[in-house]
Amino acid sequence: MKVLLALYFFILALIQAGLLFGIYHYYRSQNLVKPSSYWLNSLLFSVLALSVFGGGILTLGDITKPQFNFTVANTFFIAAAVFQGLFCKSLNQTVSRKELIGFSIGLILFVISFEVLRKFGTFEIRTIVMASIASILYVWQILAIKKRRASEISAQLQYLQYATTVELLFALSRIGILAAQSFTIRDVEQIPQLLVLTTISQLVMNTLSYIAIGGYWSERIAISNIQSHIENRKVKELLLERETLINSLLKANKTVATGALSASIAHELNQPLGASHLNIQFLQKKLAEGEVNPELQKEILTTLLSDNQRAANIIRSLKSIFADEKLTSERISFSEIIDSVMSITRPELQSKSIELALHLENNLMVSVNRSEIQQVMLNLINNAIQALSSETIQKKRIAITGRYVPEGVEISVSDNGPGLSPQAQSDLFELLSAGRDKGMGLGLWLCRHIVMRHGGRIWHQDRSGGGAEFMLFLPS
């Protein structure tokens, strides 16, 4: 009888130990969802309890006065039930430190109490006490699982609740069997077969409860993997959406920039083309009236050729800039550049009564692309003309100065107009900037682009006497 009982305990201990080692091995390789330490400790104490109890049965002499190892084994059984209860409680809320201390003190009191029962109590009393404590802990576990199942659908928690309920029924059956016993048990052979059957059945259901907890952990891992997969897919979708949005914004920005650039180029070309159109109309009128003389014809054609050449230079300059062609430069007098620009702007300066003052050092030479720097100076002078055209200043004035500085030449274009507001200065050299009330052609963005192609720099500063001043540096 003793050997058979011990064998039952050792077999159950071996099954639970295999479950424990399998879980521990998987635990080390699992990063998403870690198993509860309460559950692992409960399984460990259960394996120890079964092993110690099985060994104690083999060495048991007098069942009325068992050895101390039975106190150890029963303490391990209670500890296993307590940790399993803590696991069930942790499903709903965090176990506090005070609760852990309270259960630790309770285990110490149990050891003392069971030692007294081991020395002075009977087999029936000890078994009823153990079954009663286990029943209380089972009720606690069942209530905690039921509360968790109200908020989480889990087949494994349902199996755990069923297994624990059956454990409770077997524990209560043990109490009932012993309460109905008519004699005192003094030998192992006197233990009723029904009591042995209910005890082993209770331990089997306890093993099934651990398997159900393992299944619940696997369930959580599966859910976590699915959630991780869904989150990864969402992240990929968001990254794809972000990339699509960025491409759309870049495309929209490019479209807006292209539109602004096209409008600016059209405005820039409109000046020579508009002048050509007026000259052609004037020539047609004179031809219709028969008043065209050789000198007038020569003057109009020369003007038309000049306007046509100016438009061609603008297109050629823009083509070389935006095609990022290699810069071709020549060493030229800066006075020649100013003279070519003055031939274009002089009529407008005279019509608006704007005085142009030149202060250029003698023999001021620059190594530049002639047409591109002409475009820069033309833009700067036109900007100054536009700033002064709406002003009521009696003496409107534009000043151009040029001088040698270390490592290059510094040019200044200033006017005595209203100047630029702080808001206009913040994005003065941007492509979409409109720093003044009227359009600025290709604007200062093109000026900066050309100057940077030459390795120089351009900047704005407020003029001491009022107005705006643009500084231009070109390296030697």
Whole-model pTM?
0.52
Report which residue type is found at 185: I
CA 26/CA 35 separation, integer angstroms:
10
User: Which pLDDT score, from 0 to 100, does residue 31 have?
Assistant: 59
CA 317/CA 311 separation, integer angstroms:
10
CA 135/CA 39 separation, integer angstroms:
19
User: Which pLDDT score, from 0 to 100, does residue 167 have?
Assistant: 93
pLDDT tens per residue across all 476 residues of the chain: 678 888 888 999 999 998 888 877 766 665 556 778 888 899 999 999 999 988 888 887 777 778 888 999 999 999 999 999 999 999 999 989 999 999 999 999 999 999 999 888 888 898 999 999 999 999 999 999 999 999 888 888 999 999 999 999 999 999 999 888 877 777 777 788 898 899 999 999 999 998 898 888 888 877 877 887 888 888 888 888 888 887 777 666 666 556 656 666 666 677 677 778 777 887 787 777 777 777 777 777 777 877 777 777 667 666 655 655 677 889 999 999 999 888 888 888 888 888 999 999 999 999 998 888 988 898 899 888 888 887 777 889 999 999 999 989 999 999 988 888 777 777 777 765 544 444 444 568 888 888 988 899 999 888 877 888 999 999 98
Report the percent of the chain where pLDDT is more than 90: 33
User: Which pLDDT score, from 0 to 100, does residue 288 have?
Assistant: 78
Give the dihedral sign, CA 88/93/98/100.
positive
User: Which pLDDT score, from 0 to 100, does residue 439 have?
Assistant: 43
Among candidates 431, 433, 435, which has minimal Cα distance to 417?
A: 435
CA 44 to chain centre: 42
CA 213/CA 87 separation, integer angstroms:
9
Burial of 4 (0-12, 13-18, 19+ CB in 10 A): exposed
Residue that the structure tokens 């635990």 belong to: 27
User: Strand 396-405 to strand 354-360: parallel, antiparallel, or no bridges (unpaired)?
Assistant: parallel
pLDDT per position as a tens digit, 270-295: 767 777 877 788 778 777 777 777 77
